[in-house]
Each structure stands twice: as structure tokens, then as C-alpha cells.
């Protein structure tokens, strides 16, 4: 092995290890703060190596678990519903577009495509949903606006159908007298597991991570999802105890609360499911990104 | 009779036009199941995209809630005049464009560096590990990013002021009150979040290069460095140019979460963190100025539209496959 190769390999690994540390470090810091004793935070600030550990923040959160459990419930429900509906709508729109013989194909493609070029902006969009559809304080306010069907995902699916489903399969289905819906459900969908998984994963992450729709369309605390609960708590820790029965109780709770630790503990509770699931889905996520980039 | 004369003329067309229509109608009938499948998606596009597009008329109206959207009086270009006469218009345009410019340069360089170096590692497992580690910041929401940034920068107990300031002996900084640091903060945060994603896209382009080029180069005695600069970079150059042009076409759009969540909506940071998207949101929600916020959105959309057309024209000339249309 030439000298230059011997020397540059370890250097590359060193660079990447440093970069991995940079990628992961903020998560570690937040976790460490969440298990640091409040007195230690006051004394030394946030640290990767706290002088005193304490799980009081988690205990505090679990004592008043109502809001968190509720927000988690909202997030899970919205994510499941949203991902399912979204996958259906996207696939049903993308499949006909992949059929070269479809009448009105160019018109439909243009209608889809133009939404990527021009938008009316956020204000008319918001007013449409609030005044025409009445989505304010509805669970569907976190499902329908913007997240239900992305033109990008439709194009991704369309090119998968067009490139990997052999026309002969569709023809054989037609000869056997199957109607288009049966052909789609019985022949095309089973062959499209990879793209379905990819789009479902994209949707899942979009719904799970959404706080924007919640911020715009939801006022009621009982409908707030976990991401927006985290936003509210970051800006004002009191939000967590606001539902306490009386103001004296609020004061009492606030006095007892390890403020900084609770904040970070909530962050950890909020991201834990994603971090735990990540090693299992990262493979599909990466291949989804690259298939989008190559075929675009 | 005139009717007879006029009915004489269309006879040939009567036989041609309906037959074409009939073919079309027959085709529609044959494919009606497929067309019906598209209805939910079509309805969604109309609701989510096309009705709001029509809603841009709000920018030309003086909205009052008594008369509603359609009954409110026209205001001509008043909202646009009001917008462009305020100092905000320049500030938010400058911020949006400069931030995006910095993002394009910083993110593209780091992502390319990573992609090129990952390509040098032949061990698949290790490559996979690095890729998924670098991608992790990309899958989390901006809310979580705001928490992570807060843990480094908050006023009393943050990591940088309490630990790094001690180690390196600089004065502590009140990050959320001092606007001049935020261009650096946001560029770093954005790079942290999106470089992994970009690197994977570039890496996919690199591993798509035909291995024979490298085999031939090795036989000719080309060093790794030569192979990188003479084979890899020239071959992915169209990809780099396309990605950059596409980013330039959205230079007027900003990631709302990055500019709203990460600075935690802090007032003193406005001069360097307010972009078109945060401005539109605040003008609508906080000030309730529907006309002017719509106008700002229209301004953004129209400029974007022409930038996309321009970028696509340029992309088509470089690589037709990568053009949007």
C-alpha cells in the first residue's frame, strides 16, 4: 500500500469521527442536563459531566403526566391517520399518472406540477382552511393542511410505477377481465412495497415532527401535539403546570420544579421514540432519499 | 332559408368533431376507473393549492370582517406600497437572500467534502454508520433543534458561556439578546441539520459513476487525488450545478422553523433573524394585517416563480434529465 494511502485513511476516519461527535453531541448534552441535579446546574451550568446526577426531572414529569400523555396521544393518532390517508391519496394520484395511455394525463401532470412553481402564500392558505373548511381546533387541522399530499412524493411514486411495473402485468390483468382498481390493488400494489414503505416513512416523519399546523390551527390545550407542547414549554415552562387547579397550586408546583432539568427531560421524552426507531428505519430512509435524488 | 344554408356548411365538421369527441369520450369511459382514482388527490390540490392561489386577491383588498373576503373594497396596490415603503421590506429580503446564499455555499462545500471522503472508505458497514449518524440531525423537528441550540446558548446555564467561556477565557455572551451573532449561529445550525442529507445525495451520484474510469486511471498510475479531481468532480459537476441552481430558485423562501423556533421568537434578534416567512406570519397573527401579509407572500411567490423558470431554463441547458420540466 502506498505511503499516502496509509496515512490518509486514518485521517479520513478521524475527520468522520469528529463529525459524528458533532452530530450527536447536542443530543447527549440535552440528555445529561435532564439527569443533572438542579443545584449542580445552578452552580456549574449545563455540562456533559455533571457533578451530581438526579432523576427528579423525570419524576416531576411523570407526576403530572396528563398533558404529556394527551399530547402523545394526539401525535400518535394524527401520525397514524395522516400517514394512512396520505399514502392512499398519493398512490391513487400517482398510479394513473404513470400510465402512458391515460387521457388527460398532461393536464393532470400540469395541475400537480404547477403547485410546485407557484403558491398563493401562507395567508390565503390559512384563511381558506379556517373560514372555508373550519379546521380551527380540529384534529384534521393537523392532518390536512399541506401534509396530506406532496407533489414531490407523487412524482417519486409515479416514476417508480413507470419504471418498475412491467406493462405486460397490467395487460395480462386486462385480458383476464380485471378492472383497473383490481389491477392496481392486486397486481401493482404488491409489487410496489419499496416505494410504499419509503413514502409512508416520509409521511410518518412529516406528521410526527409537525408543529407548524398545530401552532396555526390549534388553541385548545387538549389538542396540542407533543412537538407544540415542547415549543410552548421551551418558551414558557409554566405552560406545563397551567392546568393545575388553582394559582396557589401553580406557584407551589413551580417552586418545586427543577426548571432547567424538566425542560430538557421533556425534550428527551419528545424525541426518544424517534431516536429509538432510527436505527431500524435509517436504511429505508437513506435509500428513499437516494432514489428521489437519482430519478427525481 | 338561411338556416338551410348555414346547416349546409357545418356538415363535414359535424362528422369530424363529434367523432373525435366520441373517441375521447370512449377513452374517458374506458379509463374512468383510473380517472376516478385521481379525484381525492385532485380535490386536495384544489383545496390546498388552487383556492389559496385565488386568495391572492386579498393582497389587493382592504379586508374587513363585516364584508368578508369578496365584499371588502378593493385597495389597488395600497398594500404593496405600504409594504415596500416600510424598512421591513428591504430587511427581510436581504436576510432571506443572504442566509440562503450562505447556506448554499457552506452546505454544498461541506457535503461535497463528506461525500468525496466517504467514497474513499470501502467498508460498507462503516460507510453506513457514518451516513446514518450524519443524517440523524435531518430527521428531527426544528422544535428539538431549538432545544439543542438553547442548551448551548441560554442565558444562565448554557454550555458555551459556562463551560467554554471558562476554558478559553472569553466573556459570557447574552446570545438571545445580541443580534450580530445570529448569522453565524443560524448558518452553523442549518449546516448541522442539512449537510448529512446533501452529502447522501452527492454520495449517491458518486457511486453511480462507472467503475471502469477508476480502473483505467489506476492502471495509468493516477493517484487518489488525481482520480478525485480529474474523474469524480468533473463527473458529478452537472449534479452540483443542478442542485445549486435549484437552491437558488428558492432563495426567496426560508425555513420558517429555523428562523422562528431556533431564535425562540426573540425580539432583539429581529434585525438578523426576520425573514420573509417569519415576517408574513407575524404580520398576520400578531398584527392581524391580512392585506399586507398577503402582499408580502405574493411578492415572495412571484419572485420565486420567475427564479424557478430561470433556474429550470439553465438546468435544461446543462442536463436535460435533471430539469424539472
- Name the burial class of residue A11, with classes exposed (0-12), middle (13-18) and buried (19+) by CB atoms within 10 angstroms of its CB: exposed
- Higher-confidence residue of B90 and B120: namely B90
- Test A270 with B144 for CB contact under 8 angstroms: yes
CA distance B153 to B188: 13
pLDDT tier at B167, thresholds 50, 70, 90: confident
pLDDT of residue A217: 96
Asked if B55 reaches chain A (Cβ–Cβ under 8 Å), the answer is yes
Q: Give bridge partners of residue A36 from the DSSP assignment.
A: A53
pLDDT of residue B1: 40
Q: How far is B7 from chain A (nearest CA, A)?
A: 32
Going from the N-terminus, what domains does chain A have, and what CATH number goes with each?
70-260+276-295 (1.10.3720.10)
A185 pLDDT above the threshold of 70: yes
**Which chain A residues are Cβ-neighbours of B63 within 8 angstroms?**
none
pLDDT of residue B156: 67
- Name the burial class of residue B305, with classes exposed (0-12), middle (13-18) and buried (19+) by CB atoms within 10 angstroms of its CB: middle
Asked if B306 reaches chain A (Cβ–Cβ under 8 Å), the answer is no
B9 pLDDT above the threshold of 80: no
Q: How far is B117 from chain A (nearest CA, A)?
A: 7
Work out the average pLDDT over A18-43.
88
CB proximity under 8 Å: B 91-120 to A: 114, 117-118, 120
CB B232 within 8 A of CB B206: yes
pLDDT averaged over every residue in chain B: 87
List the one residue out of A246, A294, A274, A268 whose CA is nearest residue A61. A268
Across the A:B interface, residue pairs with CB atoms under 8 Å apart total 276
- Test A27 with B148 for CB contact under 8 angstroms: yes
pLDDT of residue B6: 46
Work out the average pLDDT over A36-62.
83
Work out the average pLDDT over B291-320.
91
- Higher-confidence residue of B146 and A54: namely B146
CA distance B57 to B76: 10
pLDDT of residue B71: 78
Asked if B256 reaches chain A (Cβ–Cβ under 8 Å), the answer is yes
**Which chain B residues are Cβ-neighbours of A212 within 8 angstroms?**
256-257
pLDDT of residue A94: 96
Give the position of cell 426507531: A277
pLDDT of residue A1: 47
pLDDT of residue B275: 96
List the one residue out of A225, A93, A196 whose CA is nearest residue A150. A93
Running DSSP on this structure, what letter comes out for residue A145? T
Q: Give bridge partners of residue A53 from the DSSP assignment.
A: A36
- Test B45 with A112 for CB contact under 8 angstroms: yes
- Name the burial class of residue B184, with classes exposed (0-12), middle (13-18) and buried (19+) by CB atoms within 10 angstroms of its CB: exposed
Does residue B110 sit in helix, strand or coil?
A: helix
Work out the average pLDDT over B117-124.
87
CB B47 within 8 A of CB A133: yes
B75 pLDDT above the threshold of 60: yes
Q: Which residues of chain B form beta strands (DSSP E)?
A: none
Work out the average pLDDT over A218-237.
90
pLDDT tier at A7, thresholds 50, 70, 90: low
pLDDT tier at A242, thresholds 50, 70, 90: low
pLDDT tier at A74, thresholds 50, 70, 90: very high
pLDDT in tens, B90-112: 999 999 999 999 999 999 999 99
Work out the average pLDDT over B253-262.
94
Among the partner residues A208, A231, A264, nearest to B151 by beta-carbon distance:
A264
pLDDT averaged over every residue in chain A: 87
CB B303 within 8 A of CB B92: no
**Which chain B residues are Cβ-neighbours of A209 within 8 angstroms?**
139-141, 143
- Higher-confidence residue of B78 and A44: namely B78
- Higher-confidence residue of A255 and B16: namely A255
CA distance A30 to B136: 15
Q: How far is B286 from chain A (nearest CA, A)?
A: 12
Phi, psi values for residue B64, rounded to 5°: -130, 150
CATH architecture, domain defined by B81-322: Orthogonal Bundle (1.10)
- Name the burial class of residue A281, with classes exposed (0-12), middle (13-18) and buried (19+) by CB atoms within 10 angstroms of its CB: middle
pLDDT of residue B3: 46
| Integer-rounded Cα radius of gyration of chain A | 25
Q: How far is A284 from chain B (nearest CA, A)?
A: 11
Among the partner residues A93, A128, A210, nearest to B52 by beta-carbon distance:
A128
Q: How far is A91 from chain B (nearest CA, A)?
A: 9
Phi, psi values for residue B74, rounded to 5°: -70, 145
Highest averaged pLDDT of the listed ranges A6-20, A234-248, B14-28? A6-20
Work out the average pLDDT over A188-204.
93
CA distance A148 to A146: 6
Indicate the Cα dihedral angle A229, A231, A236, A239, nearest 10°.
-10
CA distance A133 to A177: 41
ipTM, two decimals: 0.90
C-alpha cell at B65: 370582517
CA–CA distance from A193 to each of A73, A154, A161, A284, B262 (Å)? Answer: 28, 15, 11, 12, 37
Asked if B205 reaches chain A (Cβ–Cβ under 8 Å), the answer is yes
pLDDT of residue A38: 81
Q: In terms of CA atoms, which chain A residue is nearest residue B150?
A: A234
Residue B254 host element (H or E): none
**Which chain B residues are Cβ-neighbours of A20 within 8 angstroms?**
130, 133-134
CA distance A79 to A201: 11
Count Cα neighbours of B141 within 13 Å in the Cβ-side half-sphere: 27
Work out the average pLDDT over A164-190.
89
- Test A127 with B298 for CB contact under 8 angstroms: no
B39 pLDDT above the threshold of 80: yes
pLDDT of residue A243: 58
pLDDT of residue B4: 46
pLDDT tier at B153, thresholds 50, 70, 90: confident
Query: Among A165-179, A274-288, B55-69, B206-220, whose mean pLDDT is lowest?
Result: B55-69
pLDDT of residue B95: 96
CA distance B112 to A132: 46
pLDDT tier at B30, thresholds 50, 70, 90: confident
Work out the average pLDDT over B222-239.
89
Q: In terms of CA atoms, which chain B residue is nearest residue A228?
A: B143
The domain limits of chain B are 2-55, 81-322
CB B143 within 8 A of CB B205: no
Q: How far is B116 from chain A (nearest CA, A)?
A: 10
B223 pLDDT above the threshold of 50: yes
Among the partner residues A120, A123, A230, nearest to B290 by beta-carbon distance:
A123
Work out the average pLDDT over B209-221.
90
- Higher-confidence residue of B303 and A36: namely B303
pLDDT of residue A235: 82
pLDDT of residue B83: 92
**What is the percentage of chain A residues whose pLDDT exceeds 90?**
55
pLDDT of residue A9: 81
Interface probe with A: pick from B25, B49, B124, B138, most Cβ of A within 10 Å:
B49
- Test A125 with B52 for CB contact under 8 angstroms: yes
C-alpha cell at B50: 388552487
Does residue A118 sit in helix, strand or coil?
A: coil
Work out the average pLDDT over B58-75.
81
Among the partner residues A23, A124, A283, nearest to B56 by beta-carbon distance:
A124
CB proximity under 8 Å: B 139-168 to A: 139-144, 146-152, 156-159, 161-163
Count Cα neighbours of B160 within 13 Å in the Cβ-side half-sphere: 17
Mind giving me the DSSP string for B41-95? HHHHHIIIIIHHHHGGGGGGB---TTTHHHHSPB-TTHHHHHHHHSHHHHHHHHH
Mind giving me the DSSP string for B223-285? -HHHHIIIIIHHHHHHHHHHHHHHHHHTTT---HHHHHTTTTT-GGGHHHH--HHHHHHHHHH
Amino acid at each position: 500500500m502506498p505511503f499516502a494511502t496509509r496515512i490518509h485513511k486514518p485521517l479520513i476516519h478521524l475527520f468522520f469521527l469528529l463529525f459524528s461527535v458533532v452530530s450527536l453531541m447536542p443530543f447527549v448534552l440535552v440528555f445529561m442536563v435532564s439527569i443533572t441535579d438542579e443545584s449542580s446546574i445552578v452552580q456549574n451550568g449545563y455540562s456533559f459531566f455533571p457533578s451530581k446526577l438526579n432523576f427528579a426531572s423525570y419524576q416531576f414529569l411523570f407526576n403530572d403526566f396528563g398533558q404529556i400523555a394527551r399530547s402523545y396521544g394526539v401525535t400518535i393518532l394524527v401520525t397514524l391517520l395522516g400517514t394512512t390517508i396520505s399514502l392512499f391519496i398519493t398512490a391513487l394520484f400517482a398510479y394513473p399518472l404513470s400510465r402512458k395511455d391515460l387521457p388527460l394525463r398532461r393536464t393532470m401532470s400540469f395541475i400537480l406540477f404547477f403547485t410546485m412553481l407557484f403558491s398563493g402564500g401562507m395567508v390565503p392558505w390559512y384563511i381558506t382552511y379556517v373560514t372555508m373548511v373550519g379546521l380551527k381546533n380540529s384534529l384534521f387541522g393537523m392532518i390536512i393542511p399541506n401534509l396530506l399530499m406532496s407533489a414531490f412524493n407523487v412524482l417519486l411514486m409515479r416514476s417508480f410505477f413507470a419504471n418498475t411495473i412491467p406493462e405486460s402485468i397490467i395487460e395480462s390483468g386486462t385480458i383476464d377481465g380485471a378492472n383497473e382498481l383490481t389491477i392496481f390493488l392486486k397486481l401493482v400494489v404488491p409489487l410496489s412495497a419499496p416505494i410504499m414503505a419509503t413514502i409512508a416513512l416520509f409521511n410518518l416523519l412529516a406528521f410526527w415532527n409537525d408543529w407548524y399546523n398545530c401552532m396555526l390551527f390549534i388553541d385548545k390545550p387538549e389538542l396540542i401535539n407533543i412537538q407544540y407542547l415542547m415549543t410552548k414549554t421551551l418558551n414558557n415552562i409554566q405552560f406545563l403546570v397551567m392546568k393545575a387547579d388553582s394559582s396557589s397550586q401553580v406557584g407551589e408546583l413551580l417552586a418545586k420544579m427543577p426548571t432547567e432539568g424538566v425542560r430538557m427531560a421533556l425534550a428527551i421524552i419528545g424525541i426518544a421514540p424517534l431516536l429509538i426507531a432510527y436505527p431500524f428505519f435509517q436504511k429505508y430512509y437513506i435509500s428513499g432519499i437516494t432514489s428521489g435524488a437519482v430519478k427525481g | 332559408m338561411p338556416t338551410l344554408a348555414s346547416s349546409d356548411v357545418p356538415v363535414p365538421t359535424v362528422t369530424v368533431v363529434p367523432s373525435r369527441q366520441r373517441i375521447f369520450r370512449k377513452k374517458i369511459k374506458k379509463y374512468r376507473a383510473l380517472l376516478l382514482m385521481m379525484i381525492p388527490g385532485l380535490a386536495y390540490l384544489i383545496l390546498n393549492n388552487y383556492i389559496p392561489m385565488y386568495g391572492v386577491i386579498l393582497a389587493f383588498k382592504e379586508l374587513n370582517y363585516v364584508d368578508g373576503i369578496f365584499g371588502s373594497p378593493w385597495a389597488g396596490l395600497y398594500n404593496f406600497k405600504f409594504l415596500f415603503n416600510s424598512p421591513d421590506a428591504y430587511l427581510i429580503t436581504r436576510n432571506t437572500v443572504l442566509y440562503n446564499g450562505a447556506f448554499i455555499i457552506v452546505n454544498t462545500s461541506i457535503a461535497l467534502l463528506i461525500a468525496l471522503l466517504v467514497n474513499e472508505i470501502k467498508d460498507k458497514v462503516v460507510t453506513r454508520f457514518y451516513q446514518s449518524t450524519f443524517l440523524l440531525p435531518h430527521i428531527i423537528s426544528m422544535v428539538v433543534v431549538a432545544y439543542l441550540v438553547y442548551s448551548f446558548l441560554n442565558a444562565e446555564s448554557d454550555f458555551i458561556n459556562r463551560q467554554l467561556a471558562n476554558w478559553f477565557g472569553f466573556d459570557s455572551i447574552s446570545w438571545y439578546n445580541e443580534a450580530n451573532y445570529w448569522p453565524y449561529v443560524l448558518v452553523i445550525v442549518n449546516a448541522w441539520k442539512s449537510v448529512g442529507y446533501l452529502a447522501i445525495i452527492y454520495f449517491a451520484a458518486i457511486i453511480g459513476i462507472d467503475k471502469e474510469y477508476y480502473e483505467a486511471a489506476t492502471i495509468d498510475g493516477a493517484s487518489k487525488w488525481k482520480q478525485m479531481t480529474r474523474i469524480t468532480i468533473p463527473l458529478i459537476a452537472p449534479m452540483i450545478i443542478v442542485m445549486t441552481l435549484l437552491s437558488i430558485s428558492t432563495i426567496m423562501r426560508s425555513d420558517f422553523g429555523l428562523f422562528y423556533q431556533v431564535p425562540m421568537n426573540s425580539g432583539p434578534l429581529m434585525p438578523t433573524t426576520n425573514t420573509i416567512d417569519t415576517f408574513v406570519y407575524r404580520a398576520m397573527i400578531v398584527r392581524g394585517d391580512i392585506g399586507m401579509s398577503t402582499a408580502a407572500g405574493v411578492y415572495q411567490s412571484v419572485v420565486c416563480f420567475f427564479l424557478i423558470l430561470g433556474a429550470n431554463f439553465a438546468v435544461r441547458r446543462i442536463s436535460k434529465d435533471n430539469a424539472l420540466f
